[in-house]
């Protein structure tokens, strides 16, 4: 039973436009959410996180939105750049992200077309 779902395996976006990656979760105990980016032959790299007490968190070109009632979060990348092309994983934790296991989605492969 998948507790974190990323229903779009892939997404293509034109350079300069907005990329929106979506994630749904089912476990009500999750209270901390993270996005990681992964290039081939590398480990996942932390991008941005959000606590369940917030509904938005921004860091430069990256913004994460959380809708607790819908159990849905999204990552917005504006503007998208070719270097953003990678696999993006949504992850969730029931407790502090440093001290509790992370549950990951299957990932969305983002391709930014120049």
Site residues (CB under 8 A) for another protein?
4, 6, 34, 36, 41-46, 49, 89, 91, 96-107
Minimum CB–partner distance for residue 91 and another protein (Å): 8
The SS3 of residue 82 is helix
Minimum CB–partner distance for residue 61 and another protein (Å): 19
Minimum CB–partner distance for residue 16 and another protein (Å): 29
Task: State phi, psi for 44 to the nearest 5 degrees.
Answer: -60, 140
Question: Quick one: CA torsion of 20, 25, 31, 34, rounded to 10 degrees?
Answer: -40
d(CA 23, CA 105): 8
Minimum CB–partner distance for residue 34 and another protein (Å): 6
Closer to another protein by CB, 20 or 97: give it: 97
Closer to another protein by CB, 13 or 105: give it: 105
Closer to another protein by CB, 54 or 106: give it: 106
Closer to another protein by CB, 17 or 56: give it: 56
Pairing status of strand 108-113 against strand 10-14: parallel
Q: What is the number of other CB atoms lying within 10 angstroms of the CB of residue 26?
A: 12
Contact assessment for residue 73 and residue 64, using Cβ atoms and an 8 Å cutoff: yes
């Amino acid at each position: 039973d998948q507790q974190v779902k990323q229903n779009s395996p892939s997404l293509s976006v034109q350079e300069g436009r907005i990329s929106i990656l979506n994630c749904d979760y089912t476990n009500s105990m999750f209270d901390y959410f993270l996005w990681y980016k992964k290039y081939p032959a590398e480990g996942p790299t932390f991008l941005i996180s959000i606590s369940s007490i917030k509904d938005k968190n921004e860091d430069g070109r990256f913004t994460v939105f959380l809708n607790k009632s819908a159990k849905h979060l999204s990552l917005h990348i504006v503007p998208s750049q070719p270097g953003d092309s990678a696999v993006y994983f949504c992850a969730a934790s029931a407790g502090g992200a440093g001290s509790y296991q992370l549950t990951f989605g299957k990932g969305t492969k983002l391709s930014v077309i120049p």
